[in-house]
């Protein structure tokens, strides 16, 4: 009588241990990359951030953001990044109807899309944050 009970308890303990191991504590990417980080230039050869042009993905992101922020009005963006401080990220100015927004990418994006998991872009709208946009020179349609 004791032997079947011990066997049942051993099986139950194994099931509990297995379910604990497979309960979501295991992280797997299944080979899916969320984003890549690529060097922009060799060390010592990087120019000012204003000389960098946004990638096609960053332009598409700016276009979509402008449509949402400015409620589908026709907007413009700066042709180059405007932030001079790399610690703050890579910033593009957006404008429409006298309103401005500053779109700050934390890192350069070269993939075909930005996944929700990797999206850490900030959209700033206050007058103090967008002051750099009022003096920006090169604008193009989004």
In a domain, 16, yes or no: no
Report d(CA 112, CA 95) in Å as an integer.
25
Question: pLDDT tens, 50-86?
Answer: 568 899 999 999 999 999 999 988 899 999 998 645 5
Using 50, 70 and 90 to split pLDDT, how confident is the model at 4? Answer: low
The contacts of residue 50 (CB under 8 Å, 6+ apart) are 80, 81, 82, 84
In a domain, 91, yes or no: yes
pLDDT at position 132 over 70: yes
62 contacts 103 by C-beta, under 8 angstroms: yes
Higher pLDDT residue, 116 or 133?
133
In a domain, 99, yes or no: yes
| pLDDT for res 29 | 55
84 contacts 49 by C-beta, under 8 angstroms: yes
In a domain, 1, yes or no: no
pLDDT at position 26 over 80: no
pLDDT at position 28 over 70: no
Q: How far is CA 88 from CA 5, 7, 117, 125, in A?
A: 64, 61, 20, 15
Q: Which domain holds residue 123?
A: 49-141
| pLDDT for res 59 | 93
- Using the 8-state DSSP alphabet, how is residue 121 labeled? -
Nearest to 120 by CA among 18, 34, 11: 34
In a domain, 66, yes or no: yes
Q: Kindly report the CA angle at 66 between 61 and 72, in degrees rounded to 5?
A: 125
| pLDDT for res 16 | 57
In a domain, 22, yes or no: no
| pLDDT for res 8 | 67
In a domain, 110, yes or no: yes
Sign of the dihedral defined by the CA atoms of residues 44, 47, 53, 57, in that order:
positive
pLDDT at position 128 over 50: yes
Question: pLDDT tens, 97-120?
Answer: 999 999 998 888 888 877 887 788
Looking at the structure of the chain, the number of domains it has is 1
In a domain, 42, yes or no: no
Helix (H) or strand (E) holding 61: helix 56-69
23 contacts 57 by C-beta, under 8 angstroms: no
């Amino acid at each position: 009588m004791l032997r079947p009970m011990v066997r049942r308890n051993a099986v139950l303990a194994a099931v509990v241990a297995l379910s604990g191991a497979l309960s979501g504590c295991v992280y797997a990417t299944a080979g899916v990359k969320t984003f890549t980080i690529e060097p922009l230039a060799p060390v010592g050869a990087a120019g000012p951030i204003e000389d960098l042009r946004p990638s096609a993905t960053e332009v598409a992101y700016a276009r979509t953001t402008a449509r949402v922020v400015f409620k589908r009005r026709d907007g413009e963006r700066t042709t180059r990044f405007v932030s001079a401080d790399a610690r703050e990220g890579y910033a593009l100015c957006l404008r429409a109807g006298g309103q401005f927004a500053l779109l700050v990418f934390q890192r350069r994006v070269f993939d075909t899309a930005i996944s929700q998991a990797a999206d850490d872009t900030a959209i700033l709208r206050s007058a103090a944050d967008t002051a750099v946009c009022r003096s920006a020179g090169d604008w193009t349609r989004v």
